[in-house]
């Protein structure tokens, strides 16, 4: 738990809530620092960025031109890159799954068991009922793991 003290607010937001929560956490931090203010669903700069700002905060501040809403802001390329870096940092700490585990493993658990079931049933090695139970369990694991 030694890393818990240095975990950024954006990383904490990303863990349970994904990209939108990380952006919301960064915007909240910028607002708390007095750098941005929000009114009528729009965000505007009110001060310069402090040196202790997190990378996602810096990206949001730099991407903040004119009057734009938080959802529009979160779709910009520099914000998506900063979010990817936050996810990588969390994965390096073991707090989040890598893209391979997060995406590839569930796909494999959904695609391979039915294909394998067909071959095993055709060979007469497994009954249809047992194979279907195994497929349902593996698909459930894949869906839950996402």
pLDDT tens digits along 30-71: 888 888 877 776 777 888 888 888 888 888 888 766 566 667
Q: How far is the C-alpha of 134 from the C-alpha of 44, rounded, in Å?
A: 54
**Domain span including residue 140:** 99-145
Per-residue pLDDT of 76-102, as tens digits, reads 888 889 999 998 888 888 888 777 777
- 62 with 131, same domain: the answer is no
Same structural domain, 14 and 35: yes
Identify the sign of the CA torsion 82, 33, 29, 44: negative
Q: How many domains does the chain have?
A: 2
Query: Are residue 6 and residue 32 in the same domain, yes or no?
Result: yes
Residue 21 has pLDDT above 60, yes or no: yes
| Same domain membership, residue 109 and residue 88 | no
Do 79 and 120 sit in the same domain of this protein? Answer: no
Looking at the fold, whether 60 and 124 belong to one and the same domain comes out as no
Q: Using a pLDDT cut of 70, give the percent of the chain over it.
A: 88
Pair 20, 67 in one domain: yes
3 has a pLDDT exceeding 60: no
């Amino acid at each position: 738990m030694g890393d818990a003290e240095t975990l950024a607010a954006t990383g904490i937001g990303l863990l349970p809530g994904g990209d939108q929560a990380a952006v919301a956490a960064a915007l909240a931090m910028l607002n708390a620092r007095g750098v941005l203010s929000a009114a009528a669903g729009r965000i505007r700069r009110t001060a310069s960025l402090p040196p202790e700002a997190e990378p996602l905060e810096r990206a949001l501040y730099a991407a903040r031109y004119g009057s734009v809403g938080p959802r529009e802001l979160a779709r910009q390329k520099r914000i998506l890159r900063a979010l990817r870096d936050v996810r990588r940092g969390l994965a390096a700490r073991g707090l989040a799954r890598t893209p391979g585990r997060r995406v590839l493993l569930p796909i494999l658990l959904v695609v391979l068991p039915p294909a394998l079931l067909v071959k095993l049933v055709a060979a007469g090695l497994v009954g249809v009922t047992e194979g279907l139970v195994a497929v349902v369990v593996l698909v459930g694991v894949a869906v839950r793991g996402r």
